[in-house]
Each structure stands twice: as C-alpha cells, then as structure tokens.
C-alpha cells in the first residue's frame, strides 16, 4: 500500500475564481512542485485563497488545513507567476511553518512557458531570493508548454 500525503493549497486572491485545474492536474500527475511526492498518493484536504493582500486568510486557512490532516501546504504557482509576484510569499511560508509545524512548498503546477518567457523578459526573478521559490515549478520545457 502506498503512503498518502495530505495537502492543502492556498492560491492568490487575484485568482479566487480559479477552478484549480492546473493545480489539480499537476497533483494528479505528480508534476511541478508535486514531483517531490513521487511514489506516494496525494489527497487534497483544503483549497482556498489567501483573501487578498496582506493575506488575511493565511492563519485561518493553515489552521483548518492542518486540522484536516495537511502534512504540507502549497502556495500556488499563481503566487509567483502573477504580476507582480506575491510580495508576502516568504512571510506566508515562514508563518505557516512556524505556527503549524507543517511543510510549506512554494508552487503547485509547473510554470507555464508563457509566464516564464514574460518574467524572464522582465527580469522579475533575477533576484536570488526568487531562485529557490521558483525551482520546484520549473520542470522541463515540454511540460511547461503543456501548461500554457
């Protein structure tokens, strides 16, 4: 029997109407930031927004997800590919990890090629702070293109 990892996903409030298709596809296929769970079954135990800047729902959402068994909380890829990228992402990550003792992963689905191209052109992620944040969602070129 495969082990199971329970996961919560928090998306940027700018995308509050998002149906989660790319995140759920990546989770189902073990792509993007979900590739770290290779060989395990994943179960979604929560999906919500941050409630807008500066993240009024982060504390409540994290608590609810952990109560539902979340072993990891993913801050959705939209938080890094949106423009501008979420200015609070490091604060959210640090808070959730410290407050709830849960693993926090930045990213869900692979960064779509169109967003990588634009942010590369704009120099958005040139700052070394962004390199580890986008690394889990870089994937290979074909996979990125399939998420456009």
Give the per-residue pLDDT at 23: 97
The half-sphere exposure of 93 on its side-chain side, counting CA atoms within 13 A, is 16
24-43 residue pLDDT tens: 999 999 999 999 998 899 99
pTM greater than the 0.75 cutoff: yes
Low-confidence ranges of the chain (pLDDT < 50): none
Percent composition of the chain: helix, strand, coil (DSSP 3-state, to 5): 45, 15, 35
Domains of the chain are 4-146 (3.40.50)
Helices (H), the chain: 21-29, 58-67, 78-81, 89-100, 113-122, 130-134, 141-146
Q: Backbone phi, then psi, for 141, in 5-degree steps?
A: -60, -45
Contact 65, 45 (CB under 8 A): yes
Contact 44, 24 (CB under 8 A): yes
Q: Backbone phi, then psi, for 11, in 5-degree steps?
A: -110, 160
């Amino acid at each position: 029997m495969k082990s199971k990892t329970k996961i919560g996903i928090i998306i940027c409030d700018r995308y509050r109407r998002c149906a989660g298709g790319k995140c759920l596809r990546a989770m189902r296929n073990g792509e993007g930031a979900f590739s770290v769970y290779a060989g395990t079954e994943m179960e979604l135990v929560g999906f919500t927004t941050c409630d807008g800047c500066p993240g009024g729902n982060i504390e409540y959402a994290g608590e609810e997800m952990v109560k539902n068994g979340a072993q990891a909380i993913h801050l959705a890829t939209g938080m890094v590919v949106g423009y501008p990228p979420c200015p609070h992402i490091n604060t959210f990550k640090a808070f959730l990890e410290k407050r709830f003792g849960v693993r926090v992963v930045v990213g869900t689905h692979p960064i779509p090629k169109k967003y990588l191209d634009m942010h590369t052109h704009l120099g958005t992620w040139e700052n070394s702070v962004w390199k580890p944040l986008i690394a889990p969602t870089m994937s290979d070129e074909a996979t990125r293109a399939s998420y456009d």
